[in-house]
A and B are shown apart, each in its own frame.
Chain A
């Protein structure tokens, strides 16, 4: 009898990239529902449209690159990119904005670098940066979170705005869009108002809610909860979100203590904008992040630091995309210099190969 030969180990296991990606996608559902509740149907329309674009672009690129289409198309990575980007875009962003962002993310940021596993930059963040730099005006079309004064647009009304640029007769753009709390803080601080004055302002005071902005605190709270669930389940590593949140907390706290009138409090920093989504779902993209234990701490902390810098002194209200891309660049270096001490080796040995090269 002839038997099959193979290299060890021989135990078969069912881990797969697909399972990993779908677990992350599932964990994004609660936060996404909260966003739909507070920001309207635009969120859902964006997600669906972005997913269709992402999957089409992925299929097209796989076909051009002569790769097997089925396993890659169903691995969930393109879907995750689309979903993350859709959540980051304004709810009433015109369809072509989503199309450009997602297509650029999949085609250029992902496939031109070699596809899954080979892209040095987070595709969703590349897509986001492309559209925010190219179309700054459209990127401000955020719907105010559902408040008494505002009426939620119906699904069809939202779809008509997105796809045909047709506003409902009764409203103008000003009535249905509004700057985000982060944006407002930035503008008003520039007008020499104090944090206290801004938060208690008659017109835009209510949007600040109790800690991170009305609606935003719910969205962030839910992303935090499901992110922690992923950490407990071992799907994502806890060090990156921990590093990010810790850095942001320490910096914002220090500055708020130093001058509470000009620097927003740490609670606002953590629960406004896309912080929790970034900490647990964007920064943890394994392909573009650091992989060593210490490297992940530093990587997360680096993103936190850059977010704070961009939010406080930069030109953009929220700096997540830029912070992530900057740290993407640093990831290989972090990995190299945070190599763990291998079993039976001494710490002092590293980096031994530099010595060897000097010897030559």
Chain B
């Protein structure tokens, strides 16, 4: 294996962790059996949740769209196999919140019958926008864990210029090996996916970054690239250092550019895609297949036969564990993701989603030394890849000083867990940062709410004021009028005659007078003979 000629840079800190990847890479990727029942969450991506297109009782084919949204930042979900929709309900799904989410439950018919696929034979004949539309229809999302809709990501937008496409095959977290196996076994499709994304974003270079602990993957990809004599795709071997697979860290290592804290990789002319995503893009366009399965690493001391499996989205984790020889008797912790950034699951009766790269089963660990107060040794700051001062963040987060904690750039923390891992006082630092972030968000929400309430209150107050003023004005006018009348009456009384201000009354009186006069005249007329 030759080291790449590409010049590399460093990011601050990082940790050399035991890889623990060999356990799950001994065997080739194994196709998990089609389960009898699949639970497919409608929301498996960042963005708008799709609207359901199926009803309970519908027969669906493999690859049929179950839900989609007209919103831009969204991705549809598809049936992973053919069968019948037997339930649509709020069910538990693997998510840090542990909350239920809307799921489509399919009873498989075992036929695994595809919908009619529409492969694109010559992608070059289509415009990037047309290809993006296909990627979008296929429900492709970032398979590195973020699950951001890929069709959105591969659209640089007006004015943006992507110089370098980085394909992230670093897989820096211990235990996880699904990307490694994918690169070993699907190198061809991966390279094809890279070409497609390059075409869509019009980037000049494509770098496939792989940590130096994956020699098989590196040589497999180098062979494909050499074979096809590709000049603008390069495999770059990077040192194994956690968390080099973090998007911003990887960009720094490969290009020496720092993505601005409040910006995106496109701000520095870079787009990063996970290797799994690139393969999914290839499948979406060349085969017309939507994203309905992924490779999942089932590993850890708590599982008897660790291995990588090609799994249909919606398969229950418990079934996968069964196919891996079941749990070790000391198994006590079930983690989705890796040991540094994964989150624990309470039960294994949860479906595999697009985000699920690894199921890690841990045995009861040896007891760690007791938690002690922070001694400000600064080991955390030495390893922090975001160049923060974790000890200060901890200090201010634990005293709930949420202003200062933001001065120390809390929101630049990527929660990689490096600080936690070196802390001699065994302080669960990341937990404090999450707490502070959540508190600040909820305070922000409260602030917006109270701002809204205050505006409404102010408006009501102003309205009431106005009404009161209007009423007072009316009252004042009335009073004035009364006063005037009284004054006029008083003046009239002084003059000795009644002054009728009211013209009506005067008119009536005048009319009465006239009538009386007339009457009087008539009387005199009838009394006297006619002239």
Contacts and interface: CB of A to CB of B under 8 A. Distances in A.
Contact of B335 (A10, A17, A20): A10
A287 interface: yes
Interface in B347-366: 347-348, 360, 362, 365-366
B327 A342 contact: no
Nearest to A288: B376
Interface residues of B, number: 70
Interface stretch (A95-103, A142-150, A263-271, A333-341): A333-341
Nearest to A237: B378
Given A3-B347, A335-B392, A343 B425 contact: no
18 contacts: A1-B347, A4-B333, A9-B341, A9-B420, A10-B335, A10-B342, A13-B368, A17-B369, A116-B372, A117-B376, A287-B375, A335-B392, A340-B389, A342-B261, A343-B252, A345-B260, A345-B412, A351-B407
B388 A342 contact: yes
Ordered nearest first, which 9 A-B pairs have the shortest CB separation?
A: A9-B417, A117-B373, A16-B369, A344-B261, A3-B334, A286-B377, A342-B409, A291-B378, A7-B431
Contacts of A118: 373
B387 interface: yes
A190 interface: no
Given A291-B389, A344-B258, A345-B409, A8 B343 contact: yes
Interface residues of A, number: 47
A66 interface: no
A156 interface: no
Contact of A345 (B11, B261, B327, B365): B261
A14 interface: yes
Contact of A5 (B346, B348, B387, B434): B346
B374 interface: yes
Contact of B258 (A9, A12, A15, A343): A343
A115 interface: yes
Interface of B: 11-12, 17, 174, 248, 252, 258-263, 327, 331-335, 337, 339-348, 360, 362, 365-366, 368-370, 372-379, 381, 385-389, 391-392, 403, 407-409, 412, 415, 417, 420-426, 428, 430-431, 434
Contacts of A6: 333, 344
Contacts of B408: 339
Contacts, number: 166
A219 to B, nearest CB: 26
Nearest to A342: B409
Interface string A117-146: 110000000000000000000000000000
A2 B126 CA distance: 51
A292 B389 contact: yes
A11 interface: yes
B475 to A, nearest CB: 43
- Interface of A (DSSP majority class): loop
Given A9-B341, A342-B261, A14 B420 contact: no
B365 A12 contact: yes
A65 to B, nearest CB: 12
Given A117-B375, A287-B375, A339-B408, A20 B424 contact: yes
Given A7-B431, A117-B374, A291-B389, A15 B422 contact: yes
Given A2-B347, A5-B344, A17-B375, 10 more contacts: A5-B345, A8-B417, A8-B430, A9-B420, A11-B417, A15-B369, A343-B258, A343-B412, A344-B412, A353-B407
A286 B340 contact: no
B411 to A, nearest CB: 10
Contacts of A5: 344-346
B362 A10 contact: yes
B424 A116 contact: no
A15 B373 contact: no
B421 A8 contact: no
Nearest to B340: A9
Nearest to B412: A342
Nearest to A72: B372
Contact of A116 (B11, B262, B343, B373): B373
Contacts of B365: 12
Contacts of B430: 7-9
B12 A343 contact: yes
Contacts of B348: 1, 3
Interface string A84-120: 0000000000000000000000000000000111100
Interface string A283-313: 0001101011100100000000000000000
B440 to A, nearest CB: 14
Nearest to B12: A343
B85 to A, nearest CB: 28
A172 interface: no
Nearest to A77: B375
